[in-house]
Amino acid sequence: MTTEEKKKTPYLDRYTDNLTEKVSKKAEDYQVYGRDKEVEAVQTTLLRRTKNNPILVGEAGVGKTAIVEGFALAILRNQVSPKLKNLTVRSLELSSLMSDEDGGFIVKFKKIIEEMVETKGENLLFIDEFHTIVGAGGSDKGALDAGNIIKPVLSRGEMQLIGATTLDEFHEYIETDRALERRMQPIRVSEPTTTQAIEILEQAKTIYENFHQVSISSDAVKQAVLLSVRYIPDQFLPDKAFDLIDEAATICSTNGLGDVRKQEIAEVLKNKTGIPVTTILKGNKERLDGLKEKLSRRVKGQDEAVDAVVDSITVAQAGLQDQRKPLSSFMFLGTSGVGKTELALALAEGIFDDEEAIIRFDMSEYKQKGDITKLIGDRQTRTKGQLTEKVKQKPYSVILIDEVEKAHSEVVDLFLQVLDAGRLTDSTGRQVSFKNTIVIITTNIGSQKIINQYELKGNFKKLTDRDKVQFEKSMTLELETKFRPEFLNRIEYKLIFNMLDEEVNKEIIVKQLSEIQERMKNQQLTLSYEESLVTYLLDVGTNIKDGARPLERVIKHKVLPLISKEFLNLSDHNQEYHFHLWVEGDAPDENHREDKRKILFDVETEKTSFGEALFS
């Protein structure tokens, strides 16, 4: 067909980008990798008799536009059905029609649609952010909008188009418009896995190498993917990894460096997030080195639990755990105040470099039938799930499920799915991966049994092997009165926490006083104390029922106010001061119920003593 014979398309020519022409000029830059299935799905949909308008549905950055470009390239290479080989793909940005020029939005949009109808079989329209077509160009007075213009044309099969939108917007705008939804065939574009993303970047890196005149190592590609997953959780693969590669290559090219290595990727990430390069590049072995010592410094008297956690994490870091499941899963059994939550916090800091890398849920808030929607979201109210959203934001984290026995059975079954499959589907249909999480479940079930055992035979760690086996069996029977075997069997490690004896409680007191000493250094203060203070805190701050939990409250109410008041009364806050604490007085006994013990202190500088005060 000659140029003169072709129908004139002034509005298409002016207001759309000729994607086919753009791709033809530099075809090698538009080769799509890892999306053959989706490109094939676009072609198949266009050849259907009904619902023959594909709409690509996926998060920003997963490669929806690249799929359309890949389809345009397939047309140019004659790799499509004969019915599609004469198509020219044109991309329309609705924002380009917003000016009053040429009659305004609606007039221009109608002209474009008319030209599409006249050139059916020659032109194929691609509209990114397709959901914006609903209501575009209309007004509150019910004037015609773009959606109402295009729906009759699509229903009569007079033109075809490809749309692209996110999952949220597809649900909110397309699915709720039944007339429009009936004309569109959704093609789900999922975020590639890390393995797939590495393959995509490895194949596509030559584009960046040629453009920046640098060499990009395979290690840099791998790190770009893995580090972007860990440190840029609010964006999606492969785009976020391509961004790191592009920026690192730009910096190397500008500075005359010929190679892009993992160090350059880490530098770019440091500039984006502020996280030190040494932390970003820390390997699995480095994270494990000293992990036991780190955990033991924070968690006292639970050596068996610490050892079991470290062993499990070692297996996971070696990549020998079940790849379909979370990195590891634990159930912590024990009375209050023995270190279950503290071990979870310490593990988050030790493995993920941040105590804040913990997602905590109190199951007393999920007691009712239907509370599952709080965790995965509610499609009707468009509420996002607390669990699924937090894991998307922090894919490398410890998930702490506190007092699971208080949760409704539906909620427990939800966590069964996490433990079994390593993923959850939220209310919008997104799959959220839990494969980089550590799941810790705590329960107080069996607490009285642990107390009775302690009073009868001492701590769990002191039992003979035979008695330990018998006690573990009795605890399992106790758990089975509340939970189904399917749930219990999915948990890899069930760890019984020891009661805290006097020796361990003293260690905890010393640890907490050491933390106060560290905080005081910021105010140019030092602290020392006598054994009488430890004995006093041991007496009033610990008990069988609550473990060491009351200790923090006692220190906050009795020790810190004493130091703080005296410090604020001191005249020269630029001077270094030393506080020395001890306790005098009689403890309550069978003859005297009143506690006459009082905390006493001295405050000194290098040259001057400020005397003695007391606090009770």
Given a contact cutoff of 8 angstroms between Cβ atoms, the answer to whether 400 and 442 are in contact is yes
Give the pLDDT band of residue 477 (cuts 50, 70, 90). Answer: very high
CA dihedral defined by 367, 495, 504, 401, rounded to 10 degrees?
Answer: -30
**502-615: CATH topology:** Helicase, Ruva Protein; domain 3 (1.10.8)
Confidence class for position 144, pLDDT limits 50, 70, 90: low
Supply the pLDDT for residue 577: 92
What predicted TM-score, i.e. pTM, was given to this entire model? 0.78
Give the burial string for 340-366 (b: 16+ CB within 10 Å, else e).
bbbbbbbbbbbbbbeeebbbebebeeb
- What is the per-residue pLDDT for 32? 92
Q: What is the mean pLDDT of residues 548-573?
A: 88
Distances (CA, A) of 327 to 227, 336, 427: 17, 26, 24
Same fold, 10-188 and 286-496: yes
Amino acid (one-letter) located at 576: E
Report the distance separating Cα 556 and Cα 454, nearest Å: 29
Q: Are strands 161-165 and 53-57 parallel, antiparallel or unpaired?
A: parallel
pLDDT at 614 over 80: no
Mean pLDDT of 287-304: 91
Say if residues 319 and 435 touch (Cβ distance below 8 Å): no
Domain positions in the chain are 10-188, 194-281, 286-496, 502-615
What pairs with residue 600 in β-bridges?
A: 582, 614
Residue 226 has pLDDT above 90, yes or no: yes
Q: Sorting pLDDT into bands at 50, 70 and 90, what band is 243?
A: very high
- Picking from 84, 101, 117, the residue whose alpha carbon sits closest to that of residue 14 is 101
> What are 379-396's pLDDT values in tens digits?
888 899 999 999 998 888
What is the Cα–Cα distance from 301 to 261, expressed in whole angstroms?
44
Question: What average pLDDT does the segment 428-452 reach?
Answer: 92
- CATH match for 10-188 among 3.65.10.10, 3.40.50.10490, 3.40.50.300, 3.40.30.10: 3.40.50.300
Q: Which fold has domain 194-281?
A: Helicase, Ruva Protein; domain 3 (1.10.8)
What is the pLDDT, as a whole number, of residue 607? Answer: 53
pLDDT of 4 strictly over 60? no
Q: Could you give the CA distance from residue 383 to residue 391 in angstroms, rounded to a whole number?
A: 16
Distance CA 280, CA 294 (A): 19
Distance of CA 335 to the CA centre of its chain: 30
The whole-number pLDDT of residue 99 equals 86
Average pLDDT over residues 516-545: 92
User: What pLDDT is stored for residue 609 in this prediction?
Assistant: 47
- Model pLDDT, residue 138: 59
Residue 612 has pLDDT above 60, yes or no: no
Q: Exposed, middle or buried, 38 (CB in 10 Å: 0-12/13-18/19+)?
A: buried
Distance CA 500, CA 502 (A): 7
Measure the CA–CA gap between 280 and 263, rounded to whole angstroms.
10
| Distance between CA atoms of residues 119 and 87, nearest Å | 10
Of all helices (H) and strands (E), which one includes residue 407? none
What pLDDT is stored for residue 574 in this prediction?
78
Rounded mean pLDDT of 96-115?
A: 91
Is residue 542 within 8 Å of residue 500, measured between CB atoms?
A: yes
**E strands, 297-357, in order:** 328-333
Strand order in the sheet with 397-402: 358-362, 397-402, 437-443, 328-333, 493-496
Position 398, amino acid: V
Q: What is the dihedral of CA 443, 446, 448, 449, to 10 degrees?
A: -150
Q: How far apart are CA 197 and CA 217, in angstroms?
A: 15
How many CB atoms are closer than 10 A to CB 99? 10
Does domain 286-496 fall into CATH 3.40.50.300?
Answer: yes
Confidence at 137, pLDDT banded by 50, 70, 90 = low
Tell me the pLDDT of the chain averaged across its residues: 90
pLDDT of 199 strictly over 90 = yes
Note the pLDDT of residue 408.
96
* pLDDT attached to residue 565: 93
**Amino acid identity for residue 205 in this structure:** K
Poorest-confidence range of 79-93, 132-146, 335-349, 433-447?
Answer: 132-146
The string of DSSP letters for 102-170 reads GG-HHHHHHHHHHHHHHTBTTEEEEESSGGGGTTTT--TT----HHHHHHHHHHTTS--EEEEE-HHHI
Amino acid present at 600: L
Average the pLDDT over 267-272 and give the result.
92
Q: Quick one: what percent of the chain has pLDDT higher than 90?
A: 71
Residue 431 pLDDT: 87
